Structure 1
Amino acid sequence: MSAPAPSADDMKQWLKAVAEHEDRGAFGRLFQYFAPRIASFMERGGLNAAEAEEISQETMVAVWRKAALYDPAQAGVSTWVFTIARNLRVDLARKASRTSAGVAAMRELPMRLEASVEDTALASERDARVRSAMATLSPEQATVLRLSFFAEKPHAEIAKELSLPLGTVKSRTRLAMAKIRAILERDQ
């Protein structure tokens, strides 16, 4: 038999504890209640299980980070949490749309069979700069980045392969990319 659903007051208290004290226990209760419901809602909305889980995880990370922004006068906790999830879902759809538009545009470009000497030199220089920047990453960040970009594995698969939480994989990827970007921009 499952536990009874928490009351609206319980959820407000938990969110307040997260906002004011970074209370992990309260966050755990929020996570336990909302994460499966968000994932289920997203799957019913047409996402596959991995995408739904990713949105669920990202939503709960946002809840942890933005707990202090919650205003009970504006909405209930459930409404606030599901609004975050919906916004992340919209962002995912926009990203997919941009990606597919970019792929379609690439198909329309004329094929160049030979790269110019200049193109080859620039590509070689860029590759060397990226390799140099990659060498500055921690082993954990480098591993996640290699699996994500070079092996083209989705975050959920990397998390499973490395026995890490999905949020950790995403954080390492984001931090590694920010570090590489900063190094490459500095060296330009």
Structure 2
Amino acid sequence: MPNGEELDRLIQLIASERDKQAFALLYKHFAPRLKAFLLRQGLAASVAEELAQETMLSVWRKASYFDPQRAGAATWIFTIARNLRIDHLRRDRSVSTPDPESEDTVDDGETGEAFVLRAEREERLRTAMKSLSPEQAAIVRLSFFNDKPHSEIASELGLPLGTVKSRVRLALGKLRTLLEGQL
């Protein structure tokens, strides 16, 4: 089993000389480990195999980007696999339609991947909220995050009910435009 420095050297040989023997050694070492990693992440065996191969293909193509000062070979390669897995899940999620019944079953154990994706969506929403006027942002927060009815917001802010509804509608339109395709 090659050590970290040997693995780093193999990637550097691929980058500098397109060394096929170095790639074969790297592939032999990492392909089964990548597949096992992806299987543990909940992917089907065929998908895990495909993403492991795609990861190694990326290693071949992007070997010149490898910097042993920033990360070891294993870290770099598993990061590529992780990113390909995220891309696969995003593509798969956008293609499949949600099953309304599946929303009723709640899984209390959120995976690390789901946590990261949720955090990314929340950050995009926070950024988009900053683009709203202070009045619109306040009304959106009261309506959607504090779950207050429009009439209560109107009383609390001393505004006519129509103004509250109009600001909500305009704010949601702006947020929809900013976030379309991102969430």
TM-score by length of 2: 0.53
2:29 counterpart SS class: helix
Which residue matches 2:66? 70
Count of residue pairs brought into register by the alignment:
100
Which residue matches 1:44? 40
1:72 counterpart SS class: coil
Across the aligned residues of Structure 1 and Structure 2, the Cα RMSD in angstroms comes to: 1.6
Which residue matches 1:162? none
Identity of aligned residues (%): 44
Q: Which runs of 4+ in 1 moved over 2 A?
A: 101-104
- 2:79 pairs with 1:83: yes
Q: CA deviation at 1:101?
A: 3.7
Which residue matches 1:121? none
The one-letter code matched in structure 1 to 2:53 is Q
The one-letter code matched in structure 2 to 1:63 is V
Return the match for 2:95 from 99, 107, 110: 99
Q: CA deviation at 1:102?
A: 8.8
In structure 2, how many angstroms separate the alpha carbons of the residues matched to 1:72 and 1:44?
Answer: 27
The one-letter code matched in structure 2 to 1:82 is F
TM-score by length of 1: 0.51
In structure 2, how many angstroms separate the alpha carbons of the residues matched to 1:12 and 1:41?
Answer: 20
- 2:11 pairs with 1:12: no
Return the match for 1:55 from 51, 54, 76: 51
In structure 2, how many angstroms separate the alpha carbons of the residues matched to 1:72 and 1:12?
Answer: 6
Consecutive unaligned residues in structure 2, runs of 5 or more: 101-183
Deviation readout 1:22-77 (Å, 9 max, x if unpaired): 00000000000000000011111111110000010000000000000001111000
Higher Rg of the two aligned structures: 2
The one-letter code matched in structure 2 to 1:30 is L
Consecutive unaligned residues in structure 1, runs of 5 or more: 105-188
The one-letter code matched in structure 2 to 1:100 is S
